[in-house]
Amino acid sequence: MNKLAIVTGGGSGIGLAITEKFVRTGIRTVIIGRDKKKLDETQHRLGALCEPVCYDLTCLSGIPRLVQDLHKRFGQIDVLVNNAGINLKKEFTEVTDEEFQKILRTNVSSIFALSREVVKVMLDSSAGGAVINISSMASQYGIPKVIAYSASKAAIEGMTRAMAVELSPKGIRVNCIAPGFIATDMSAKALNNDPERKQKVMSRTPMGHLGTPANIGDAALFLASDAAKYITGIVLPVDGGNSIGF
Ligand code: NDP
């Protein structure tokens, strides 16, 4: 398959699993993160179709140049997965303005800036494209102690719909995956020292276990593929039934 994908945060957790699915299907995949060692290890593991690029996506002013360089180097961009994100678990009244802005800048502003630049490249090509955003159940639930994260993930779902209506007529599909509770370092930090929260998660997950990053990888591969060619603007829960569990 002669496609080029970008997966932000592709060096770990869910992004790594998405990258693995893409690469195994023959999609050349650029992974973006801040930790060069982690990115290089991922390339070593996945092989030459995985292309590491070390960049801090909160440096918004450099994003146009980053995308121009990728366009020059690879000639096309077919798929963008906006997966990179950070969380902060803290009492509502303890969160500072700086902390709130940092989450919004990483989880929202960088997605906007990167998508805007990548979409310009996609619009220049007759092949169109697919953008996949990663939100969270925190966009829909009232989860305590994650005020900035919840705001950011709700924003991602709103942006998905706004982008989809504007870009789908131009051949670019925009969708979102809302992962439930997936076993990664991020969820371990949120759940491992909080047995009450972990018990709550498990009790309302009909499938009875956390998801794996590969479960999200499968969904992303589907949404990136022609099998999803009439799907745009959706928020797909991949959550073992957590969102409908009682
Ligand atoms: P990880 O912490 O493993 O991955 C987050 C990735 O984002 C890292 O690879 C990190 O790379 C990258 N990243 C963070 N900040 C930046 C930045 N400024 N610039 C570039 N890259 C950055 O978490 P997960 O795999 O669990 O999470 C992936 C996505 O899935 C996130 O958006 C998260 O909110 C979402 N999600 C996760 C759930 C879960 O249960 N795990 C549930 C719901 C949603 P580096 O360190 O190299 O910068």
Counting from 1 in the atom list of ligand 1, the atom nearest the Cα of 13 is 25
Q: Residue 8 maps to which CATH number?
A: 3.40.50.720
Instruction: Supply the pLDDT for residue 197.
Output: 87
Look at residue 79 in the predicted model and tell me its pLDDT.
98
User: How confident is the model over 105-143, as pLDDT tens digits?
Assistant: 999 999 999 999 999 999 999 899 999 999 999 999 999
**Residue at 191 is within a domain:** no
pLDDT tens digits for range 157-167? 999 999 999 99
Band of the pLDDT at 1, cuts 50, 70, 90? low
Number of domains in the chain: 1
User: Which of the 8 DSSP states describes residue 129?
Assistant: E
Q: Is residue 195 part of a domain?
A: no
| Domain carrying residue 152 | 4-184+213-236
Q: What's the whole-number mean pLDDT along residues 188-214?
A: 92
Q: What is the pTM of this model?
A: 0.98
pLDDT tens string 66-112? 999 999 999 999 999 999 999 999 999 999 999 999 999 999 999 99
Is 2 exposed, middle or buried (CB count within 10 Å of its CB: 0-12, 13-18, 19+)?
exposed
Ligand 1 center from residue 83 Cα (angstroms): 6
Residue 149 is a catalytic residue? yes
Protein residue with its CA nearest to atom 33 in ligand 1: 85
